[in-house]
Structure 1
Amino acid sequence: MGNFMKKFLPAQTGSALVLVSLSIALLMGITGLVIDGGVLYTTKSHLQKTARAAVLSGAQELPNDIPSVENVVQDILLAHQAKDHLANLTIDPGQQVAVTLRKEVSMSFMKILGFHHVPVEASATAKIQQMGRAHGAAPLGIDEAIPLEFNKEYKLKVDQTEVSYGNFGVLALSGPGAQTYEENLRFGYRGEIKVGDIINTQTGNIAGKTRTAIEERITNCSVPGDLDHRDCSRILLVPVYRPYNHTNNQLKQIKVTGFAYFYIKEPMSPHDTSITGMFIKRVGTGYTDFNALDKGAYSIKLTE
């Protein structure tokens, strides 16, 4: 019996050593996969976020020229340390911008299995569509029947003279009253306006309130003349409307059908009753709607 055990135990010890060695190798392999997998996941996440940031920022310049879009995309990639990973940049002027990023990631433990580098790729596409819902609109409206020529001078009248049906494009966005109107013109309407909304028109003499608010907006614009400056207070978001309710030869209510952007070119004189400016194409922070009229105001939609 003793001789048998002496022969058996060394054999069992050898088998155990093999099993332990295999277990350690398997454990190291799993650990390596977890570590390298984590690196791949982190890289993929970073590239995806960067690609989305690049197309969302670049899409803001789609109403302009291709170089403007390219410059913004490159700036975002540089800020995220991903400029060298740009695999593809596609720009459809006035429509969409697409970015593909690719990076070769060096492996640590997976080299044992022959994987020295693993390619990681991320793509994103953003398109602009007509704006159909937004905050911050000015209490001024433009009839959809009026053809808009961009960068051409227009005058938005703020009194009732020489305007058919007594409507002069002034809206009571959050209720009637000159004080409410002035606040909405100065800061923008804080509520949301969307295509299909029925809005009352504003009556009364508000030319003085208009001059005060317009002068403040011009003063607060730090970069006058720069139509692309994102924070220029000279730029007004204006609802586009269809006449809705006429009463006693006056337009009492309008129906919102879209949005436009109006750039204030100059201050109003003491006796001026109109705002001088021009309509521009611009991407804002609203929401897209296929039912909205295309009047130069756009929002961004991330499609992938």
Structure 2
Amino acid sequence: MKRLKRLTSFREENGAVLVMVAFSMLALLGFTALAIDGGRIYSEKSKLQKAVDSAVLAGAQGLRTTNSSSSAEEIANDIFYEKYGYDNSLVFNLTVVPGQSIEGEAKNIPVSMTFAKAVGTDEAFINASAKAVVGPITKASGIAPFVILKSDIPNRTVLNCGSTNPGDLQGNCGYLKFSDGNLRDAILNGATYDVRNTVFTDPGGSVGQVEQAIDGVDGIVSKDVSKLHCQSPDTADNSCARVITTVVVDNWVDVEGKPITGKSEVKIVGFASYWIDRYEDKRLYGKFIKMVAPGEIGTGTGIGDYNLFGVKLSE
């Protein structure tokens, strides 16, 4: 009798264990389903946010380079729908403040479910938004050691020494003082400048070093020889070696109000981009162009439309 009771007890315990295992398996499957579908939602949400961020950043650049709100919207839409592959039927709303910002919002983007279909949920819907603002660059790297007068932008076509050297820029070719004394390397590599700081000009022509930087074996022109878009100021961008950034000053006086003569301390008021055409007869020929580049962004308009501008996400 005791043996029979023990056998009966074992059967009851085995049955309870089976029930517990069954419930555990159901819970495990539920967590697995949640992880798979939840992970898919998270992944698609991240992709969507990246697409919206990229779209508004590209659109904000378009606000500066094209001066057209409609072109900026077209650029943003191309990034969202073409580059990231979202269907044209999906909603991507854009709000543009001309010359200042572009905001994008993707709404109700469907994400197909797997395990959630068992409980009647075929799709989840996600949203993403971002805003990119445009502002004048106040600090940037890779800036060439040239200084240019604000009033000479954008019409000046000769950047430094030669017969067109400004008469009131006595003993100075419009170069900035650089650390190692090698003007060639300073032109090719640039340096970091900040509009909150002052800089020193550097006297002398340094014709040989400038010529090497422009027309040398590893110079600016040779670096762009295979880049067709760099051969014209109308299509060049900041991937072109021929596009350099210059320091801009208000007038040819130093911080004490004295005329610039040789080595003088001057106040930076902005930066401008210059497309180099050629170096000839000690003169650097080219054209100022509108450009967007990386760097710290301030407020206002800087030195005007030809100020070097940057874009950033604001929210």
TM range (shorter): 0.7 to 0.9
Matches within 5 A, 1:257-296: 257-264=269-276, 266-270=277-281, 273-290=282-299, 293-295=302-304, 296=307
DSSP-derived class of the 1:101 partner: strand
Name the structure 1 match of 2:57: 56
Task: Provide Cα deviations, 1:254-283, integer angstroms capped at 9, x if missing partner.
Answer: 12221111223x42433xx44333322210
* Correspondent of 1:132 among 123, 138, 144: 138
2:243 counterpart of 1:238: no
Given the superposition, is the C-alpha separation of residues 193 and 257 from structure 1 closer, same or farther in structure 2, using an over 3 Å criterion?
A: same
Give the drift of 1:71: 4.8
Cα distance in 1 for partners of 2:209, 2:22 equals: 85
Cα distance in 1 for partners of 2:60, 2:210 equals: 33
Cα distance in 1 for partners of 2:241, 2:259 equals: 37
Equivalent residue letter for 1:55: V
Matches within 5 A, 1:149-160: 150=154, 152-158=155-161
Name the structure 1 match of 2:204: 204
Cα distance in 1 for partners of 2:125, 2:149 equals: 54
Equivalent residue letter for 1:290: T
CA contact (8 A) 1:132 1:292 kept: no
Cα distance in 2 for partners of 1:98, 1:246 equals: 44
Cα distance in 1 for partners of 2:243, 2:260 equals: 32
CA contact (8 A) 1:159 1:207 kept: no
Equivalent residue letter for 2:296: Y
CA contact (8 A) 2:55 2:76 kept: yes
Equivalent residue letter for 2:213: A
CA contact (8 A) 1:104 1:118 kept: yes
CA contact (8 A) 1:129 1:289 kept: yes
CA contact (8 A) 1:257 1:292 kept: no
Between the aligned residues of both structures, percent identity stands at 27
Equivalent residue letter for 1:261: S
Equivalent residue letter for 1:163: G
Name the structure 2 match of 1:39: 40
* Correspondent of 1:300 among 304, 307, 311: 311
* Correspondent of 1:81 among 59, 63, 85: 85
CA contact (8 A) 2:105 2:128 kept: yes
Give the drift of 1:110: 2.1
Give the drift of 1:76: 3.2
DSSP-derived class of the 2:278 partner: coil
Name the structure 2 match of 1:195: 195
Name the structure 2 match of 1:108: 114
Give the drift of 1:107: 1.8
Cα distance in 2 for partners of 1:49, 1:154 equals: 40
CA contact (8 A) 2:272 2:308 kept: yes
Task: Provide Cα deviations, 1:84-120, integer angstroms capped at 9, x if missing partner.
Answer: 4452233333222333334211222223443221101
Cα distance in 1 for partners of 2:259, 2:54 equals: 52
Name the structure 2 match of 1:26: 27
* Correspondent of 1:256 among 244, 268, 271: 268
Name the structure 2 match of 1:141: 147
CA contact (8 A) 1:261 1:281 kept: yes
Give the drift of 1:12: 8.0
In the alignment, structure 2 segments of 5+ residues that lack a partner are none
DSSP-derived class of the 1:44 partner: helix
Task: Provide Cα deviations, 1:117-147, integer angstroms capped at 9, x if missing partner.
Answer: 1101222222221001111111111234x26
Equivalent residue letter for 1:34: A
Cα distance in 1 for partners of 2:222, 2:5 equals: 102
Equivalent residue letter for 1:110: A
Equivalent residue letter for 2:85: Q
DSSP-derived class of the 1:233 partner: coil
Equivalent residue letter for 2:157: Y
Give the drift of 1:53: 2.4
Given the superposition, is the C-alpha separation of residues 81 and 249 from structure 1 closer, same or farther in structure 2, using an over 3 Å criterion?
A: closer
Give the drift of 1:82: 2.8
Given the superposition, is the C-alpha separation of residues 199 and 226 from structure 1 closer, same or farther in structure 2, using an over 3 Å criterion?
A: closer
Equivalent residue letter for 1:139: P
DSSP-derived class of the 1:164 partner: coil
